Amino acid sequence: METLTLDLPSMYGDHHVVDVRRILLTMPGVADVYASSAFRVVEVSFDPAQVEAGAIEAALDEAGYMEPIALPLEPEVGPYQAGDTPTYFRHTAAYQQTGQTVSFAQRVTYTGRPLWPCPGMGPVQILKEE
């Protein structure tokens, strides 16, 4: 048996631990999986005669756990200070009484996926009974 330790930057929740364990334990030759969402690390005990370390990494990469989640960032200045710089997430309202932004809201359109990028989760599928 060999042990492979991998950093999984996109494994940030306990539901990811369950998914990573499911992915790895269905592979032939994988004996044990220890996954931690707190440390974003997985330790896999496997038989190299049955499965290669590269296949384990490829399975986790295909599921989306090997790369960091790309999240857009808001600008560091307030929308009323930005000038011509576009503001991305905030719909702002400035009132004449204050001359500054006093409220904001986020407009989120449905895109067929979770709002927060989450490996292992896609659009909810409605199963039809046969």
**Tell me, what amino acid is at 59?**
A
pLDDT of 42 over the 80 cut: yes
Query: 48 or 121: whose pLDDT is higher?
Result: 48
Q: Are strands 41-46 and 101-105 parallel, antiparallel or unpaired?
A: unpaired
What percent of the chain stands above pLDDT 70?
53
Q: Give domain limits for the chain.
A: 2-63, 73-111
Residue 6 three-state SS: strand
Chain position carrying tokens 């199963």: 127
Q: Which of 50, 51, 49, 45 is nearest to 6 (CA)?
A: 45
The Cα 112–Cα 123 span in angstroms is 6
Residue 24 three-state SS: helix
Q: Which fold has domain 2-63?
A: Alpha-Beta Plaits (3.30.70)
When pLDDT is cut at 50, 70 and 90, the band that residue 48 belongs to is very high
> Is-above-0.85 flag for pTM?
no
pLDDT of 129 over the 60 cut: yes
For residues 29 and 2, is the Cβ–Cβ distance under 8 A? no
